[in-house]
Each structure stands twice: as C-alpha cells, then as structure tokens.
Amino acid sequence: MAGTIYIANPSSMTIILWSSIISIHFILNFNFNSMAYRKRSTSPEYDKAQNRLAGIKQFETKIDFGNGLTEEAYLAGMKLVDDLTKKNNDLLTTVDGVATELDQAEKDLAELSSRFLNAVGSKYTYDSVEYEKAGGTRTSEIKKTKKTVNTQSTK
C-alpha cells in the first residue's frame, strides 16, 4: 500500500510519532507573517560574482574581454547588488517593526471591541436587540448543547 511505513522495532515507531508531533507543533506555532525570516545578509549572485572575479584574477591581470566586460563594470554591478541588498534588508527591518506595531494595535483594538460589547450588554442587557446590533449573540439565541448519558452497561 502506498504511503505505508513498516517498522520492525516498536521503539522506532515512538521516535517517528514524536518527531511528527514536534513537526506539526512547529508548523502550527510558526508565525509565517513575520518578515524577519526573509532577510538575507548577502545575495547569492553577489557571492558567486566575488568568487568568479577572484578566480579570473588568478590568470588575468587586467580584466577586459571587450564589449563592456571589464573589471570595473563587474565591480560596479557587484556594488549595485550589494547596495540594493543592504537597502532591502533595511526596509525589511522597518516593515518587520511596523508589522509588530500593527499586531499589537490589532490586539488592543480587539480588547477594546470586547469592552464595548460588554458595555452595551451591561447597559441594554445581553438579550437585547441593541446587543445584537453591536455584534453580540443574544442569550436567548444561544443554543444549549444537550448532554447525553450512556445508559448501556458494559459487561
């Protein structure tokens, strides 16, 4: 059967189960809205260009292959990518700070909204039309869950 894992040692099953639980816990609790994980200190292309330039300098003293392929042009392109990477990281840091402020402001607003709804409920009662207009559910409209009692006996 596809997707079936056969395990000879039961203790290894425990390890797989725990690693799955840890993975699921990480996925559920990871804040994917955070911008910090997107930051990068350098560009992979910049790193590749540095290594390529160093390699070419080992056998070519004056780099000029014609058609604008000079060491100066290469260094200018590398500097532009480095400057833009730094600018990108600065902007991501700023956005990350604003996102943190926004998260806190939303939490504060949610708490304020809850307090407003409670104030309406206190003034007009929790079963009033006003409470419902403010976004609450009237107490008379809340459905009660029925508890069932198991009458079968186990033998």
Residue ranges of domains in the chain: 41-141
Q: Report H helices in the chain.
A: 10-29, 44-57, 71-124, 129-133
- Give whole-number Cα distances, 50 to 1, 41, 58, 70, in Å: 50, 15, 13, 14
- pTM, two decimals, is 0.53
Q: Concatenated DSSP letters for 13-39?
A: HHHHHHHHHHHHHHHHH--TT-SGGG-
How sure is the predictor about 18, in pLDDT bands with cuts at 50, 70 and 90?
Answer: very low
pLDDT at 15 over 90: no
> Where is pLDDT greater, at 31 or 120?
120
pLDDT computed for residue 149 by the predictor: 73
